[in-house]
Amino acid sequence: MHDDRTLVEARLRRVLDERIRPAVYPESVPLEVAVWHAPGEPVPVAEGLAADAEPITVGSRWGAPWGTSWFRVTGTVPEAWAGRTVEAILDLGFDENMPGFQCEGLVYRPDGTPVKGLNPRNQWVRIGAPVQGGEEVRLHVEAASNPVVMDYRPFTPTPLGDLETAGSDPQYTLARMDLAVLDETVWHLVTDLEVLGELMAELPVDSPRRWEILRAVERALDAVDLQDVGGTAERARSRLTDVLAAPAVPSAHRISAVGHAHIDSAWLWPLRETVRKVARTAANMTALLDDEPDFVFAMSQAQQWAWVKEHRPEVWARVKKAVAEGRFVPAGGMWVESDTNMPGSEAMARQFVHGKRFFLDEFGVENDEAWLPDTFGFAAGLPQIIKAAGSRYLLTQKISWSRTNRFPHHTFRWEGIDGTRIFTHFPPVDTYNCSMRGAEIAHAVRNFKDKGAARHSLAPTGWGDGGGGTTREMVAKAARLRDLEGSATVTWETPSAFFAKAEAENPEPPVWVGELYLELHRATLTSQAGTKQGNRRSEHLLREAELWAATAAVRTGFPYPYADLDRIWKTVLLHQFHDILPGSSIAWVHREARATYARVADELGGIIDAAQRALAGEGSVPLFFNAAPHTRSGVPAGGARLAEVSGRTTRAERPDGGHVLDNGLLRVGVDARGLVDSALDLAAGRETIAPGRTGNLLQLHQDLPNMWDAWDVDEFYRNTVTDLTDADEVTPGDDGVTVRIVRTFGASRVTQVLSLPPGEKRLVVDTEVDWHETEKFLKLAFPLDLHTDRYASETQFGHFFRPTHTNTSWEAAKFEACNHRFVHLQEPDWGVAVVNDGTYGHDVTRAVRGDGGTTTTVRVSLLRAPRFPDPETDQGVHRFRHALVPGASIGDAVREGWRVNLPERRLHGAGEVAPLVTVDRDSVVVTAVKLADDGSGDVVVRFHEAHGARAHATLTAGFPVAGVEVTDLLERPLADTAPPTVDDGRITVRLRPFELTTLRLKRA
């Protein structure tokens, strides 16, 4: 037989595009359209429905950036259409290649009942099937003219990312507003041909199945009368029956499809628009569930569910009904799909506490899985947090974006820093926006790395990022792929059903130990410094507010602010979403975030002050309140008393114009340029700074990544660097014992103050940057005379190690990494810590000197200046605090990290305040002291082993204890864990390295 394969395939493409798809709607009549443009922010539904609308015609421009327009469409179904299926086609000006990234709408009936959402791949509204002739049609569309921030030339700087700079030019052209007859037979023919054509293209050319499909398609095309597609569609479909009925081979890969709409809680749109995106998607998905009995939809992020409940009660009613039927599934058990690298220990725990509790309270549903398809890498402390929340599984696909190394597994157990292992799945379809295309399904099969050991994978199916969800076309394709020869089988399933099957068939999968590092988007650890500092400050203020409010409640009857703390926690957790905290959202988002963090700080400051005043009482005794988990200046952790200050600091001038700071523990030399050329640990006789090098060195790099400006820093940024060594001023500070340095570069100015606190072995570096650079990267470097092949970075509930060398491509790819409050480098008998109060990104490199010694350089990432999506990223004044701690053990690093983030609070009172709880081992760090969320008055204490060693400690309660329980993060007793004994308020605990424990103490 002659090879006519390409001829038939080309014929299929053209006939589908030019004849069959246009015949899906063979008849149409125009609708009458009127519009009212809301003058400001979105209005309530009732107001939009009642507004006076003006006529508008197809082809007219509409929609200022970020505006809301209410369209009213009216018409009459022609009598000749009686008994047929009729739909309204409402095209607001869509680009079908941008679902979720441009204008969208939510359709309402005149009584305010929501119908469904509109987006570029979902423009229809069912009027009737069958319809009555002469039926009057009246619909309202709340349309959002969200501008296209990331267009076909992505990463181009644009003012459209903020309402304040976006202008008022109309963004869209009204394209089509019609009533149309839907020919369902033709619609099904389109789906048949698409599924077979896409499957055919993925099969080997010499495969018999490919040729069998080709001939069936050819026969179907022969059966189509191109001048009467509707009249011949059924005949054409009959030619495809046999090839569509051929069952999959028994060994076929099995895909669990989960209806999905990954909705970024903010990204290229502000938070207020996400509220509406979620409502549109939820309306769409509940409507689709009504039409498709096999379909299952899962939605994560409890915050988004809460928005629907608060803002769209009519949609919420439909969602609740679908949840009760088990088909609209709460997923993930987190408040938002957060970043997991930067949130602190308690914040990461509270993501699960608030997320899981919302689903339990609203639906009685508890999630087994953490659902984080788009998060930019996963910290090594996360597995035990997932387990401590009562969950068992993790799903993500983002690691497939790594640029250097391909991850070796799709299903595996991920082991965290304490040894906890979590069953983890990476969908081999490599997208969280699967649309059931044949290429996607075939890629999942070819890509799956666990063949032979496992046969199941998951496919999150539906348009995401900006929402939209699954379409009826995807459901129709999945139905044909349920059991089709040549393809993987596809079945709609819940996430829990998938994980149960996957774990049962592969109970002992491979193990991956340590962080799941994304070899991409490394700059998200630095972009939008103000957002990151707001997060860090909020986390520590929440710790203080809970600690002092709980202490005051037990001691004085102070009213514990349950509702306020719950609300503030949820606000902070929302802003840890993986495009807010990482700094990859538009200017509007970060402008609002800065204002929100300021309000949070004010409110928490008020709670802290009120609680401390209740504890202090009336008096003139100077009190120092210590919120850190270690004794400080003689003040116990969680207590207050007169601080003990020992030692003094001196400053002397050097002949070269530099200065020497000395406090008896540390002697620091500062040269005439304001650079640290010596930091001598006097007790150890050990120099910290590498020979011939200087610390406190600011370095400026050119920084234009190949793409993803706010997200990425590419390794070639290191090829060019400017050392900022010129100083405008190097003078004594106002107190006479500090050194003040001023530098100018480009359009920016840096002011630093170097200080040695009396009695403390640490050099504090306070840096203020008035930043006005673009596409630059600012680092602060400390070259250390220290030889080590690894260093420790703090993460949630502990720390973990990264190499200082680049032996392998995996190590080389980690040229920018995350830490929380400290990094620590150690030779066997001496170490150095660098601690911070609000930065996350850093790098560590090593070089061997001519004298044979090793210089290990720690560089802290301070600021970047990308121009997309926020063209004014980080412009303005920023303040940072870092400290260099020579001679530090890992315990010193832990303690100093807490110290720099919890500055002292002083006020006068009647006398000493005893801690509510104490622990007798520094290695056991208390991260939370609070009252139980259920309002019982029980005291909850969460702590972990922080040094990486076993610990035997005694926790002592400063109040009568009637009983104690070991609980999960949701403060529920652990059934398989015996409660510790209580002896006169003393509780003995034994902890493995980095083990996390939560105790619930019942007050007597």
Using the Cα atoms of residue 850, residue 853, residue 854 and residue 858 in order, give the sign of their dihedral.
negative
Average pLDDT of every residue of the chain? 97
Residue with tokens 């595996």: 412
pLDDT band at 976 (very low <50, low <70, confident <90, very high): confident
| Residue 754: predicted pLDDT | 98
Average pLDDT of span 404-415: 98
Collapsing DSSP to helix, strand or coil, 396 comes out as: coil
What gap in Å lies between CA 542 and CA 539, rounded to an integer?
5
Q: What is the mean pLDDT of residues 882-889?
A: 98
pLDDT reported for residue 979: 85
Residue 273 makes CB contacts below 8 A (sequence gap 6+) with 66, 144, 146
CA dihedral (39, 40, 44, 47) in degrees, to 10, reads -10
Statement: residue 397 has pLDDT above 70 = yes
Residue-wise pLDDT for 218-234, tens only, equals 999 999 999 999 999 99
With both helix axes pointing from N to C terminus, report the angle between 208-223 and 229-238 in degrees, rounded to the nearest 10.
150
Please say if 609 is a catalytic residue: no
Per-residue pLDDT band for 645 (boundaries 50, 70, 90) equals: confident
Could you list the beta-strand ranges (E) of 887-959: 905-909, 917-919, 924-931, 939-945, 951-957
Q: Is 610 exposed, middle or buried (0-12, 13-18, 19+ CB in 10 A)?
A: middle
For the segment 648-668, the average pLDDT, to the nearest whole number, is: 97
Tokens of 56: 């508008």
Residues whose CB is less than 8 angstroms from the CB of residue 32 and which lie 6 or more positions away in sequence, other chains included: 55, 73, 74, 75
Token duo for residue 914: 């005893």
pLDDT of residue 324: 97
| Active-site pick, 162, 374, 579, 712 | 374
pLDDT of 1? 66
Question: Is a pLDDT exceeding 70 seen at residue 118?
Answer: yes
State whether residue 953 is helix, strand or coil: strand
Residue 236 to residue 222: CA distance in whole angstroms: 8
H or E segment and range at residue 591: helix 587-616
Find the mean pLDDT for residues 553-581.
98
Mean pLDDT for 33-48 is 97
Q: What is the pLDDT of residues 750-790, one digit of tens each?
A: 999 999 999 999 999 999 999 999 999 999 999 999 999 99
Tokens for 353? 């506490």
Q: What is Dmax (Cα atoms) for the chain? A: 103
Counting Cα atoms < 13 Å in the Cβ hemisphere of 985 gives 13
Phi then psi for 283, rounded to 5 degrees? -65, -40
pLDDT of residue 666: 98
Which structure tokens are listed for 945?
């082993």
771: left (phi over 0), alpha (psi -120 to 50) or beta: beta
Which residues share a beta bridge with 180?
28, 87
From 966, 972, 978, 797, select the one nearest 356 (Cα to Cα).
972
- Given a contact cutoff of 8 angstroms between Cβ atoms, the answer to whether 392 and 423 are in contact is yes
Q: Which residues contact 159 (CB under 8 A, 6 or more apart)?
A: 165, 166, 167, 871
Residues in the chain: 1004
Q: How does residue 2 score in pLDDT terms, banded at 50, 70 and 90?
A: confident
pTM: 0.97
